[in-house]
Amino acid sequence: MTRTNLNRFGTLIAFVLLCIGFSIAAPAAFASPANVFNLVQQMATLAIVATAATLVMTISEFDLSVGFSASLAAVICFVLFGQGYDVWLAVPAALLVGIVGGAANGVLVARFGIPSFVATLALGTILSGFAFGLSGGQSLFQSVPDGFKSLARGDVFGIPVLGFWIVAVLGVAAFVLTQTEFGRRLRAIGGNAQAARLAGLPIVRDVIVTFAIAGGLSALAGLLLASRLGSVQHTMGEPLLLPAYAAVFIGTTASPTGAPTVAGTLLGVAITGVMVNGMTIVGVEPFVQKIMTGVIILVAVLLRRVGRAR
């Protein structure tokens, strides 16, 4: 294998080696169809949030509100269920809140020039306040319609329903980013915003739309997570933030240019998912799991950086 191929496929090969390692260590459990089914389910919500992060990072911005948006959407949905509304009203309403919240992020960043770190953290904190207030700080799990639960549970022809969500969301996102005029504009903005502005690209509109999509995807992830668990806590989406960006960063090591891509992000999600799942199955102590997950992220990104510097 040439050095170029190693650079291009190194992260993928590392993922395969991880799978092989865990399969040898726990062949009956890790490599079982039931565990593969579990893995797909466990990765789905993170994959969708990480896709939202990928879109925003494509325009060289960050969205720190993704986890908060996911929580708020799930809380709104369950509160509406509690008031007797059905799935067809509650789910779109929750998604709409995510989209509006995301668009508000975009307006703050593109119109008012507030750094995305600050704008999205501030708005995310506001969203978390609404989630807390609406839920009363309690876990919500009553009055959940069966139709909602089926959004993220069960399987079709042996493939978990959440697997279809991964394919649909990431497939559309990858297509938009690589095959459409809008996607090319986003990459141009991320590559050099000043040049994009001078070229007359509608930067403000595109940034707002990108954040709105990210907000909608985050809300979707929150709803799918709520469907999978059958319960909602007002902080449930927050732990998704750091792993989502970790996945995007790992994914960039698989990209020839080092730019975020949907395929790379999926690989990053798969590596983090397999690491945690595999180490749990073989019984690695929790503190070792955390150390090793951090080391893997650091090593992958660091060596990529060293490799590119050469």
Only segment of 85-93, 102-110, 134-142, 187-195 that touches another protein (CB under 8 A): 134-142
Only segment of 2-10, 111-119, 195-203, 207-215 that touches another protein (CB under 8 A): 2-10
> Residue 263 interacts with another protein (CB under 8 A)?
no
Residue 191 or 307: which CB sits closer to another protein? 307
> Residue 199 interacts with another protein (CB under 8 A)?
no
* 41, 155 Cβ separation under 8 angstroms: no
> Residue 172 interacts with another protein (CB under 8 A)?
no
Q: Is 105 helix (H, G, I), strand (E, B) or coil?
A: helix
> Residue 10 interacts with another protein (CB under 8 A)?
yes
Site for another protein in 42-101 (CB under 8 A): 42, 45
In whole angstroms, give the CA distance from residue 302 to residue 16. 20
In whole angstroms, give the CA distance from residue 269 to residue 264. 9
> Residue 229 interacts with another protein (CB under 8 A)?
yes
Only segment of 19-27, 105-113, 122-130, 202-210 that touches another protein (CB under 8 A): 19-27
Only segment of 29-37, 51-59, 87-95, 259-267 that touches another protein (CB under 8 A): 29-37
* x-marked contacts with another protein along 231-250 as a string, rule CB under 8 A: x-xxxx--xx----------
Least separation in angstroms between residue 79's CB and another protein is 15
Q: How many CB atoms lie within 10 A of CB 183?
A: 17
Interface with another protein (CB under 8 A), residue from 77, 228, 265, 269? 228
In whole angstroms, give the CA distance from residue 70 to residue 143. 20
Least separation in angstroms between residue 301's CB and another protein is 9
> Residue 295 interacts with another protein (CB under 8 A)?
yes
Interface with another protein (CB under 8 A), residue from 18, 122, 259, 263? 18
> Residue 147 interacts with another protein (CB under 8 A)?
no
Interface with another protein (CB under 8 A), residue from 85, 130, 132, 164? 132
For 242-258, b where at least 16 C-beta lie within 10 A, e where not — what string? Answer: ebbbbbbbbbbbbbeee
Q: Is 142 helix (H, G, I), strand (E, B) or coil?
A: coil
Find the Cα–Cα–Cα–Cα dihedral 125, 47, 103, 235, rounded to 10°. Answer: -20
Interface with another protein (CB under 8 A), residue from 82, 92, 129, 137? 137
List CB contacts of 19: < 8 A, sequence separation 6 or more: 274, 278
Residue whose C-alpha is closest to residue 73's, from 51, 54, 50, 45: 45
Dmax over Cα atoms in the chain, in whole Å? 61
